[in-house]
Amino acid sequence: MDDSSEKKNMHWSEIIAKDVVNSKKPPYVVMSGITTSGPLHPGTLCEFMFADAIYKSLKKLDKGAKFVFVADILDAFDNIPAPFKQYEGELTPHLGKPLAHTPDPMGCHHSFAEHFLSEATDAMAKFDVHPEIMRADQAYAEGKYDKYALEYSERKDEIKKIVQESSLRETMPDDWHPIMPICEQCGKIATTTILSYSNGEYEYSCDRDVKYTKGCGFKGKGKISDHKYKLLFRVDWPARQDMMHVSTEGGSVDHHTRGGTLSTVAAVHRKFFKHDPPIYYKFGFLKYKGKKYSKSKGIGHSVNELMQILPIPVFEYALLRPDIQEDKELVLDEKTLLPLISDFEHAASLDSDSELSRADRKKSISYSLTEKKEWNVPLVDVLVNYAIHKDWDKVGELLEDPEGVKYLSGYVDKWIEQGWIPDKYVFELGKGESPSHPEAIKKFSDSLKEGMTDNEVHTLVFETAKSSDIPPKELFQDLYKVIIGKTMGPRFGKFAIIIGIPRLKELLSS
């Protein structure tokens, strides 16, 4: 098999893992990261889920692989997120400071940054994702960036030109410098400018107006070895990758545009460090009915909603199954919920070691990357049984999966409340109406015998319709009408067996 036809059978995480092993040297490091400037967003989940899938696939090829997740918490605090609007008075003076140096107004964490980082790490734990967390403020404080800061500053014209060319900028500010000092007087990082640099020492002023805040006017001196600075984002990123020997890192589509951040990052590796950059994988956007998820515009589900309303393995599966580059529609409603769960149940039933179709193999691998399914019977059977008995314990007993049914019951209650369970699974037995073809119904009922299989019952509907000279569709509608007062319902043969033949006969004759 040549490489390309082999790849057609592989899950995207396996393809990236294989590319890493083929073109990079061990130890292999997968990196991803976020700036914790606000509440967890579904996009953040993609940041760690995708990297974790690659890490897991890579670990199958090389046990020493690592996954490092960077918390960019030395970035400037530039916006008060919605849940903290009530603390606006308290937080406003801190705008422009590093997130890690901004207080947590709720007082439950060391800093603003840690407050939201903990949301992300809590979510990771729920998704069984356990990367090594690298805090940017600590890495800077430990001097890990110093050699890069020195090298960039010593060869400033060179790095400036690389940034300009790779970001397609016509001009660069005269005072452009790779270092952003933290002002000694006001603590802000967003407002400082380097005035002069020599031999690892610099002079700066805190005088910039960045709209959301202004500098304090202080003029001071600093040394790289004091670690009171951060590198500009476009040069920080390649430095961190070089420092951590990153083999692969992802970015959403917007980082991958011509002149986008990753153009600079790759150019710094090639032209400044003189080596190949890591493998950059691209991931599509999360979309809700064709529109990009956006918290500010209120488009899409929130993380909390998703985590409370969808079993986590299903959620993981929904993110990991489509090709990574595709935009992913993540919409939960009455049209999408059951097909998603049925597909997940199908994926769970596959044996990845056996001969599978290309699509099924990808589904099976996607499933293997999730936490496991916690129920053993198809959800539709659970729904039908619940509609009939309205008693979760009884449903668990009847389906011989008390734990699984208990696990699902909490979700099903919410889905019914949201209206996401199709009408045909939400009904009450005995709330029927009179049939349009009473004779055919009676004939059918008289021919029903205990011990019939679901297929036999199904066939009997067709036979009865034929001998009564009415279209089968009409007889099916009539049966549902008598039993549950609707024109459609669960697949009839199985439905009859679940109700039980004697009870069904009773319902049909009442």
- Residues binding Zn ion (CB under 5 A): 104, 106, 108-109, 115, 183, 185-186, 206, 216, 218
Q: What distances in angstroms separate CA 432 from CA 351, 386, 423, 458, 487, one per listed residue?
A: 43, 18, 15, 20, 10
Measured CA to CA in angstroms, residue 434 lies from 473, 480, 483, 495, 508 at distances of: 17, 10, 9, 19, 10
- CB atoms under 10 Å from CB of 371, counted, come to 15
Q: Which is nearer to Zn ion, 104 or 401 (CB)?
A: 104
Q: Report in angstroms how near the CB of residue 255 gets to Zn ion at its nearest.
A: 29
Is 185 or 342 the residue whose CB approaches Zn ion more closely?
A: 185
Least Å distance, CB 231 to Zn ion, is 19
Query: What does the alpha-carbon distance between residue 191 and residue 215 come to, in Å, rounded to a whole number?
Result: 5
Separation between Cα atoms, residue 260 and residue 90, nearest integer Å: 35
CB of 183 to Zn ion, least distance (A): 3
Distance between CA atoms of 494 and 490, rounded to whole angstroms?
Answer: 8
**For Zn ion, the closer CB: 183 or 320:** 183
Which amino acid, one-letter code, is at 48?
F
Nearest to Zn ion of 103, 472 (CB atom): 103
Preceding peptide of 278 cis, ω within 30°: no
Question: Which residue shows structure tokens 């947590």?
Answer: 104
Q: Which is nearer to Zn ion, 184 or 201 (CB)?
A: 184
| Rounded least distance, CB 119 to Zn ion, Å | 9
The CB-of-220 to Zn ion minimum distance in angstroms stands at 8
- Residue type at 382 in one-letter notation: V
Provide, rounded to whole angstroms, the least separation between the CB of residue 206 and Zn ion: 3
3-state secondary structure of 245: coil
Between 110 and 466, CB nearer to Zn ion:
110
Q: What angle do CA 217, 223, 227 make, to 5 degrees?
A: 95
Name the minimum Å distance from CB 102 to Zn ion. 12
Place of tokens 């909603």: 305
Q: For residues 168 and 454, what is the distance between their CA atoms, to the nearest angstrom?
A: 67
Smallest gap from Cβ 216 to Zn ion, in A, equals 3
- Residue 12 CA to residue 9 CA, distance in Å, equals 9
* Smallest distance from Zn ion to CB 133, Å: 17
Q: Which is nearer to Zn ion, 14 or 104 (CB)?
A: 104
Q: How far is the CB of 83 from Zn ion (least distance, A)?
A: 11
Identity of the residue, 218 or 288, whose beta carbon is nearer to Zn ion in the bound complex: 218
Task: Report in angstroms how near the CB of residue 181 gets to Zn ion at its nearest.
Answer: 10
Output 106 or 168, the one with its CB closest to Zn ion.
106
Q: Which is nearer to Zn ion, 102 or 477 (CB)?
A: 102
Instruction: Identify each DSSP E strand in 227-367 by its residue range.
Output: 229-231, 248-252, 279-283, 286-288, 291-292, 328-329
CB of 149 to Zn ion, least distance (A): 20
Between residues 71 and 206, which has the closer beta carbon with respect to Zn ion?
206
Task: Read off the tokens for 302.
Answer: 């929130």
Question: In the structure encoding, which two tokens stand for residue 38, read together?
Answer: 């606000």
In angstroms, what is the minimal distance from the CB of 218 to Zn ion? 4
Query: Sign of the C-alpha dihedral, residues 131, 137, 139, 145?
Result: positive
Measured between alpha carbons, how far is residue 235 from residues 98, 160, 198, 232, 383 in Å?
17, 10, 19, 6, 54
Closer by beta carbon to Zn ion, 217 or else 419: 217
Give Cβ neighbours of residue 355 (< 8 Å, ≥ 6 apart). none
Nearer Cβ to Zn ion (38/278): 38
Q: How far apart are CA 419 and CA 372, in angstroms?
A: 26
Q: 128: closest CA among 72, 67, 70? A: 67
d(C-alpha 381, C-alpha 392), whole Å: 13
Q: What is the 3-state secondary structure (H, E, C) of 381-435?
A: HHHHHHHHHCCHHHHHHHCCCHHHHHHHHHHHHHHHHHCCCCHHHCCCCCCCCCC
Number of neighbours of residue 298 by Cβ within 10 angstroms: 8
